[in-house]
Structure 1
Amino acid sequence: MSDLQNLYQELILDHSRTPHGYGLREAVAAQSHQVNPTCGDEVTLQVHRGADGRVEAIAWEGHGCAISQASASLLAELAEGLSTDDLGVRIAAFREAMRSRGRIEPDEALLGDAAALGGVSKYVARVKCAMLAWVAAEDALSRE
């Protein structure tokens, strides 16, 4: 395994062990619950926006594999301070990379540390795990 792959693997494990944004809040701007029926991973995700309309925080709770948990954590970290349009652009870019079966490298400038999940796209059965929180965020935003 290359040094970069080791770094990415460690980043994913770190985010699954100590997730960013974990814990739901009482005041909810937009919320979505998503389930991956293939493996049973679940996430409930809230998008909290500040007075300026930007994403103040993504709060979430769920259970599942390290990939789904790390992906939710990475999304929560990435989304802070973004406009909902900018978040939508990042969700679309992440989806494109995940569906590419390894042909498209995630844009680290756009996705930050979430680009570490790029290798997941080579494993079709795991793509839904990585996408779960991102689909929940997209759904929550569409409900506003």
Structure 2
Amino acid sequence: MAQDDLYRSVVLERAKSPRHAGDLPDAPLHGQGSNPLCGDRVKLHAMVDTQGRIATLRHETRGCAICAASADLMAERVTGQGRAQVSRLQAELVAAVETGIAPEGLGELAVFAPLHQHRSRIRCAMLPWSALTEMLNDEKDR
């Protein structure tokens, strides 16, 4: 896979013009993650509805295009989802980036499947998901 192929148009578009970036001042849930090896940092802010589903998720991402695009696509995809659905989706994404085979239900997140050939970039795509898992686990423990 050529380096240019890695940065598909959806990754570049979401990194350049994210749809779900920014703070959410009244959000009760917060999560963060960082990768000291490359400098990627993600902060998440979320609100959940009365049934425990993510009602709104915003991210503040400082990092490479892959990390920023992953955070934005994640925020879009998990809105309306409960913890179990988020966990299943994350497991599907992990399998896709490890094998290069994206299940049909992954949608636009399938853009990250080619990262299986670039092992060092997998952490970039998964960092927002790690922050989300930490945030949801902290919320569950309250």
Contact 2:100-2:114 within 8 A present in 1 as well: no
Q: What residue in structure 2 maps to residue 131 of structure 1?
A: 126
Structure 2 portions without partners, runs of 5+: none
Trace 1:97-108 onto structure 2 (pairs within 5 A).
97-98=96-97, 100=98, 103-108=99-104
Report the TM-score when normalising by structure 2. Answer: 0.87
Contact 1:43-1:136 within 8 A present in 2 as well: yes
Which shows bigger deviation, 128-137 or 111-120? 111-120
Q: What is the deviation of 1:97?
A: 2.1
SS in structure 1 at match of 2:46? strand
| 2:23 counterpart letter in structure 1 | L
Q: Distance in 1 between matches of 2:90 and 2:42?
A: 16
Q: What is the deviation of 1:104?
A: 4.0
Q: What residue in structure 2 maps to residue 143 of structure 1?
A: 138
* Divergent runs of 4+, >6 A: none
Q: 1:116 aligns with which of 100, 106, 111?
A: 111
Q: Distance in 2 between matches of 1:58 and 1:121?
A: 27
| 1:36 counterpart letter in structure 2 | N
- 1:56-94 Cα offsets, whole Å, 9 max, x none, are 121110211100000001101111111221011111221
Which shows bigger deviation, 38-47 or 21-30? 21-30
| 1:143 counterpart letter in structure 2 | D
Q: What residue in structure 1 maps to residue 36 of structure 2?
A: 37
- Identical-pair percentage: 30
RMSD: 1.9
Structure 1 portions without partners, runs of 5+: none
Q: What residue in structure 2 maps to residue 88 of structure 1?
A: 87
Contact 1:34-1:44 within 8 A present in 2 as well: yes
Q: What residue in structure 2 maps to residue 9 of structure 1?
A: 8
Q: What residue in structure 2 maps to residue 70 of structure 1?
A: 69
| 1:83 counterpart letter in structure 2 | G
From the superposition, tell whether residues 139 and 118 of structure 1 become closer, same or farther in structure 2 (CA, over 3 Å). Answer: same
Q: How many residues align?
A: 137
Contact 1:91-1:138 within 8 A present in 2 as well: no
| 2:27 counterpart letter in structure 1 | V
| 1:64 counterpart letter in structure 2 | G
